[in-house]
Structure 1
């Protein structure tokens, strides 16, 4: 039993510890005004008196959100609304600003007006800038050049506290020898910029930890020879002309997500052995194996916890480990892998053989979740390929800790059934196996009234397969557990 004296002592310690919460609101708001946005929000854990107080640290509005409606770009209503926004923004004075969010359509803002918004936000020491142009952003420029009169953003923005920058649909130019010591996150979507401009942006941001490039189709060579010392996350999606990527030194890189034509250079050096998340997808059908050494390092990335491979990358990995006789099984063990996602463009014998070869060569003793996205084609490729490729025997072990598996676009074709049978017989801890049929592609008026896309006899046949786990459930309805999604499912979510 705790005595009264001990309780009073503890209560007094807590009261003394929380004296800062007893300060007048004016003083606490002054403290918050000196903190960056992220730190100000975190003060909410101190006590209930601090929660939400950060929103009042500056007079309203602390953030500016301007969204011009779609419609005629030069209409009188849009012009009047644009003028009202500019006037309202400037009436607030040059007080600190958390975020400037500016969304508009092609033709609604002239270059001087865009510059006016950005310069005002920079003068207010803005911490986050979001610029989004819809309907024509970046189109019309070729080879990284800019059309006269096109909207452009000049980097650096000019704010002394800028931490996050998101740009979509605009041109971007960058100064040489610039320095932005505070910028940590950059997202570029459909941005027209040259290879040199991107290099200048990255080298100017020594604290950059997250970089995302989507649909930047004028980039050809992504080179981070300088400026990637603190980079933790790199995402490159459909930068279709980029054929080379160089990151020779990124000791803190934990996540690399790439979708596009396979690169001819390999970023996986000794400095990125701590990579934890890897996503590799060619984004297209199998048309042979172009020269690349990018996936060849997958078996030796022993710290990977989440891995996504398309069927072409899977073929590369399988071929690489098959031809490497000096590497031991232990060296190829992905002993930290918890989740594996396979994006299959085909499911012929060769594809199934690649899956088996990968699981044989790259042991995954801690694998818990498996996702297989099957092709959407309406015919069974086994019927046209079964004489061409020798069948691969499935691995004997390696799925001892697998407790959840999900196959989407499941149609019940022969090789799909073989994979299901393999999982059920080898995964002794399997709890749930989701088999999700392809979504209807017919118009709403022609869709079937019932929701069961798989025939009853197929469900019956699958349910009768032998199971190593007595608790294994086979589920044909995705709504039973909608949260069962791969961690890399957000790679194609557009900003």
Structure 2
């Protein structure tokens, strides 16, 4: 009896080992395996041909995901395109690849690739001719390849860089399925940009960075949810952004250029605008109807924006006056991020805001102060919220760099100065942290990441 039990157990284990050795993945239908291959990086997808004879034909027929990172020359891309039989899914060409080869220009090379049958039905296109700043060019940038028009009915994601887009409505691009658009170092006129956006009826996110030729942009879109803009430099840069009719817009991410150039922002109709910033002291004009800011100074306050819940500021002097003015304009603000670079103003508020404290409804739940120094100015600023923010959940004090490591003694002293034991919100947490440096640069490109509720979670890494 014991022998029978042992035999059955051994046979069961042998059967389980045989099952574990089975190649179940290869038993899937070709369509499913093709989807798996197409999701892999280019080199890994090509290597699946050596797995077995079952996998060998899949690479050539699966939707092509061409991301040539690691490839050194365009000839390798040409070889992949000529050998692939399937439709295209994604075609990404990094800047270093688009260099003239022999007698062919980068524009001719790219146009030839885009005409390849291997890219039929392409869904994602991303290319950049290189770091060609339009305002510094003697000759015009390469034109947008004419072959891009053949993807008008299939593209869902597009990023055009370092090129010039045709002028006039007659040559305007139409992308009825496009949801994500990036224009980087592009030369385009105001009328052409308006025509391009009008030809993208389901566009959800738009990124504009260092472009030239369009000084004023009016946003009229019922589908657009997110905008990221860095205006660039020169007289032909974007200087004014008008949100004329944007009923679905949730976030506006804006960043100054290397020389501090910023744009006028006018919000006429954006009832769902939830996230805004980073706004710095140099903003020439920011208006919400009859409420107007010039830089960080409030000129008039008549209308408010109750939809704004998340705000990021680059406030050099860490001024409580500035922040309170923004809070008056955004009465439902829940998250506030502030990056400061100087010791700060006096921020004496006990008498100045004595009457305001009882009437101002502070709804802030999270406050992050970057480059907090713990001096009298910074303490006075933070203490206002410690003692008056009744629903505050978290307040983070970040000290960047290596000049000061946070000791327990220093943190305890800060708790005493801030009077955290007398905090208005009993559940509030106060954290003093030291960041050694950026984890990796981020910025307005987060306009495309609609899965992220708060793009300023890594505000210290913004560039």
TM-score under structure 1 length normalisation: 0.64
Cα distance in structure 1, aligned partners of 2:370 and 2:130: 33
CA-CA distance at 1:416 after TM superposition: 1.8
Cα distance in structure 2, aligned partners of 1:128 and 1:207: 15
Q: How does 1:66-465 map to 2 (within 5 A)?
A: 66-67=68-69, 78=72, 81-93=73-85, 95-105=86-96, 107-108=99-100, 110=105, 111-120=107-116, 123-136=119-132, 138=134, 140-141=136-137, 146=140, 150=142, 152-154=144-146, 156-159=148-151, 160-173=153-166, 176=171, 178-224=173-219, 228-240=221-233, 241-260=237-256, 263=263, 266-269=266-269, 272-279=270-277, 281-282=279-280, 285-286=281-282, 290=284, 292=285, 294-297=286-289, 313-316=295-298, 319-321=299-301, 324=302, 332=304, 334=306, 336-347=307-318, 351-360=319-328, 362-364=330-332, 367-373=333-339, 375-377=340-342, 379-382=343-346, 391-393=352-354, 395-396=357-358, 398=360, 402-440=364-402, 450=405, 452=407, 455=410, 458-459=413-414, 461-462=416-417, 464-465=419-420
How many matched pairs? Answer: 386
Contact 2:202 2:223 in 1 (8 A): yes
Contact 1:129 1:166 in 2 (8 A): yes
Contact 1:122 1:157 in 2 (8 A): no
Cα distance in structure 2, aligned partners of 1:136 and 1:470: 54
State the secondary structure of the residue aligned to 1:407: strand
Q: Deviations over 1:413-452 (max 9, x none)?
A: 3332122211111123434321112324xxxxxx67x555
Aligned counterpart, 2:4: none
Aligned counterpart, 2:61: 59
CA-CA distance at 1:131 after TM superposition: 0.7
Cα distance in structure 2, aligned partners of 1:492 and 1:118: 39
Contact 1:29 1:57 in 2 (8 A): no
Contact 1:411 1:438 in 2 (8 A): no
CA-CA distance at 1:279 after TM superposition: 3.0
Aligned counterpart, 1:473: 429
Cα distance in structure 1, aligned partners of 2:271 and 2:415: 46
State the secondary structure of the residue aligned to 1:425: helix
Contact 1:406 1:435 in 2 (8 A): yes
Question: Structure 1 pair 369/476, CA: closer, same or farther in 2 (3 Å)?
Answer: same
Q: Deviations over 1:163-221 (max 9, x none)?
A: 11012333333662543322222111222333333233223223323221011144322
Cα distance in structure 1, aligned partners of 2:331 and 2:380: 20
CA-CA distance at 1:278 after TM superposition: 3.1
Question: Structure 1 pair 112/360, CA: closer, same or farther in 2 (3 Å)?
Answer: closer
State the secondary structure of the residue aligned to 2:379: helix
CA-CA distance at 1:471 after TM superposition: 3.7
Question: Structure 1 pair 88/486, CA: closer, same or farther in 2 (3 Å)?
Answer: closer
Question: Structure 1 pair 397/411, CA: closer, same or farther in 2 (3 Å)?
Answer: farther
Contact 1:371 1:486 in 2 (8 A): no
CA-CA distance at 1:408 after TM superposition: 1.2
CA-CA distance at 1:239 after TM superposition: 3.8
Contact 1:156 1:180 in 2 (8 A): no
Q: Deviations over 1:462-495 (max 9, x none)?
A: 364532233433211257xx99995345799899
Q: Deviations over 1:228-277 (max 9, x none)?
A: 343232222224422233453333333333334565573413xx323333
Question: Structure 1 pair 425/220, CA: closer, same or farther in 2 (3 Å)?
Answer: same
- Runs of 5+ unmatched residues, structure 1: 1-23, 38-55, 70-77, 301-310, 441-446
Contact 2:122 2:155 in 1 (8 A): yes
Aligned counterpart, 1:44: none
Question: Structure 1 pair 58/451, CA: closer, same or farther in 2 (3 Å)?
Answer: farther
Cα distance in structure 2, aligned partners of 1:101 and 1:157: 17
CA-CA distance at 1:102 after TM superposition: 0.8
Runs of 4 or more consecutive aligned structure 1 residues displaced over 6 Å after TM superposition = 30-33, 482-485, 490-495
Cα distance in structure 2, aligned partners of 1:470 and 1:229: 42
- Between 192-201 and 483-492, the greater mean CA deviation after superposition: 483-492
RMSD across aligned positions (CA): 4.4
Aligned counterpart, 2:15: none
Contact 2:176 2:202 in 1 (8 A): yes
Aligned counterpart, 1:487: 455
Contact 1:100 1:121 in 2 (8 A): no
Aligned counterpart, 1:306: none
State the secondary structure of the residue aligned to 1:420: helix
Q: Deviations over 1:397-417 (max 9, x none)?
A: 555654432211111233321
TM-score under structure 2 length normalisation: 0.68
Aligned counterpart, 1:45: none
State the secondary structure of the residue aligned to 1:435: strand
Q: Deviations over 1:36-60 (max 9, x none)?
A: 99xxxxxxxxxxxxxxxxxx79834
Q: Deviations over 1:108-162 (max 9, x none)?
A: 55222111122227851100001134444656436xx715xx4643484411311
| Larger RCO: 1 or 2 (CA < 8 Å, sep 6+) | 2
Aligned counterpart, 2:22: none
